[in-house]
Structure 1
């Protein structure tokens, strides 16, 4: 028997399906009025088909990981279907719901990927692969944790970051899927795209920060309601439009990749932005936004030998900054280009980016990768192609 459901703030059809134990396709079929299942709004009424409950009684000796493997259920799906379930304290005799739509992968790259999905997937990855480390490097304006994952024990410290621009959110699942594939290969002692995961693990310590601008990503994907703390300011900055799909900045209208103290004044003058808005405003001062400060503090604390910042789009790799880059940067960029098929570009006329600041202050290789091609935000349907291109860069970066 179907029932009615009122869409809440932060809901997506995918999140509703996970929580209620049904499939996205079943919700779409029950609601033919939805022209696009990615576009639902708070207060909207949906018809939810009745899920067929699959239940399991926890047995003595069961672990959360054992149950997910036994029934081929993603850990994040099992947690979503059982609110309040503590994976570390399973009680024998407790009945839990086994959600439908089972899958073996944790990171689902077939749906719009937001902050909620990322945090759920991080919890699931930490449960499935205890050797992964996680550190909160700071908070966003709206007090969302900004996490970074650690994989590996090697002496080289490598950093990949993504989603510093809000409408480039597709870069977050790039890093999350790589983390999952890398962890699975290391755990199983298998090859990762033809390379020994064990050797990569012992060669380098990799830090992944998948979503540096969580407030902005949420804004692009979900829009605003009158209850949003920046409702009036955001509408004014967006010229009265409720379409925030082109928004790059953080929630205060500051472009976080123009926030770094590398000729910041020159970039501010070049951009000539009148004030906060969807893009191009450098802020009142370098590192005045909490997200940018968190990135800078994190970078200073880890002594990275190389960083790669993933953006979209253009299928290009930038490797230089005002001739301050080390000699090997260009050759590394060419290796990245061979691994991905991307064009290697010596960039001019750009300052104040994270890559620029890293090169300037540390004199070590830093790179910006413009993944994919098209108009931002790139559709999730492009993910397989983009991942197959950029995974070569991520693997090559662990071997420099």
Structure 2
């Protein structure tokens, strides 16, 4: 929601007027001097939208404000050209509407266009988040990072490394939406106040590492690539089992952490729907973007979200720090997932992160079944994973 500054207004006053944490207002308006607002300038108020209301008989600003648990001045701020004492039946006024339910739809097939729509919707209501493009896919789609908070602890989560695991993007975005909703409404979530988490950590989320692959699974091949992709898919036009990027490279077998071992033992020696690690490590634009992101941001911990298995992996060649054990114990407690320290698999993003930075890294396998997991599992998976999402920030 946007308001125009009046004489004497301050961000602190808006914080009290709309019951929004002061830090969220500052972060929603990074180009404003919070100590000297200029009359007529636009200020973003997070956690609110507006609605146009047609005045009915008996309406007054006081009655309209009382119904919304707001002060009259909150309405006057949005209706600066209206005479507050002479509302006329049929007249239109603007009313602030606190957002108290999730902005995003749940349980829908989650392709790149849905993600783009959702990012715009979140930015509209929660302008204190930052969205940056960290790279591009093979087909030129932006790979986007969402950043929330400005604390010293840097936590990263990502989803949809594998195309047929697109439900992970929907789950991760739903968790983010819940966190943002609780921040602007001051509600605790599972016993935690979200504002201290916002102030002590910076959360980095890449919700869709492999947008080309996700779109291939959900929408089929682009017409200009149809023949090529059907060939890679062994002549089949059914792409629901496709894991790789659009070039047939498995992105989670692309990182220089014993990549040579994976290259040698994988059956796939050429582009394929899954398991082909590429001709060289970090050959794909998606993996280059993710490696560069980790180097630039210097995360303190990293979670890569996959499906399926209701378990998580957190060790790599004994390079994981002792902190990983404590995190693994908490993740197991809050989710019911099985903690697995080592598995016979290399060249993943988690493996490379632990090797490169000697910091905690996790591969989380959501749900049970055959990928792509059905949307009927969404609520159960969300409930199991949300505890891990919170623990990754507060631990």
Fold similarity call, TM over 0.5: yes
Distance 1:275 1:207, change over 3 A: same
Residue 289 of structure 2 corresponds to residue 306 of structure 1: no
In 2, Cα distance between equivalents of 1:212 and 1:145: 9
| Deviation, structure 1 residue 62 | 12
Bigger-Rg structure (1/2): 2
Residue 289 of structure 2 corresponds to residue 294 of structure 1: yes
Residue 64 of structure 2 corresponds to residue 67 of structure 1: no
Distance 1:136 1:70, change over 3 A: farther
- Tell me if structure 1 keeps the 8 A contact 2:49–2:125: no
Aligned to 1:394: 389
In 1, Cα distance between equivalents of 2:53 and 2:298: 41
Aligned to 2:279: 284
Distance 1:68 1:280, change over 3 A: farther
Aligned to 1:329: 324
| Deviation, structure 1 residue 224 | 2.2
- Tell me if structure 1 keeps the 8 A contact 2:102–2:178: no
**Residues 1-400 of structure 1 correspond to what in structure 2 (within 5 A)?**
66-67=49-50, 104-224=101-221, 227-228=223-224, 230-400=225-395
3-state DSSP of counterpart to 1:146: strand
Instruction: For residues 83-141 of structure 1, give each alpha carbon's deviation from its aligned partner in whole angstroms, at most 9, with x where no partner exists.
Output: xxxxxxxxxxxxxxxxxxxx953221122111111110101101101111111110000
Distance 1:396 1:62, change over 3 A: closer
3-state DSSP of counterpart to 1:304: coil
| Deviation, structure 1 residue 251 | 0.1
- Tell me if structure 1 keeps the 8 A contact 2:301–2:361: yes
3-state DSSP of counterpart to 1:246: coil
Instruction: For residues 270-327 of structure 1, give each alpha carbon's deviation from its aligned partner in whole angstroms, at most 9, with x where no partner exists.
Output: 2131211110100111111000000000111001000000000000010000111112
Instruction: For residues 39-73 of structure 1, give each alpha carbon's deviation from its aligned partner in whole angstroms, at most 9, with x where no partner exists.
Output: xxxxxxxxxxxxxxxxxxxxxx99995336989xx
| Deviation, structure 1 residue 328 | 1.9
In 2, Cα distance between equivalents of 1:272 and 1:68: 58
Distance 1:195 1:287, change over 3 A: same
| Deviation, structure 1 residue 197 | 0.5
Question: What are structure 1's unaligned runs of at least 5 residues?
Answer: 1-60, 72-102
In 2, Cα distance between equivalents of 1:390 and 1:322: 26
In 2, Cα distance between equivalents of 1:164 and 1:68: 39
Distance 1:70 1:375, change over 3 A: farther
3-state DSSP of counterpart to 1:317: strand
Question: What are structure 2's unaligned runs of at least 5 residues?
Answer: 1-42, 55-99
3-state DSSP of counterpart to 1:284: coil
Distance 1:62 1:195, change over 3 A: closer
Name the Cα RMSD after superposition: 2.2
| Deviation, structure 1 residue 331 | 2.2
| Deviation, structure 1 residue 376 | 0.3
- Tell me if structure 2 keeps the 8 A contact 1:107–1:173: no
Distance 1:131 1:240, change over 3 A: same
Moved more, 210-219 or 172-181: 172-181
Q: TM-score, normalised by structure 1?
A: 0.74
Q: TM-score, normalised by structure 2?
A: 0.75
- Tell me if structure 2 keeps the 8 A contact 1:151–1:183: no
3-state DSSP of counterpart to 2:394: coil
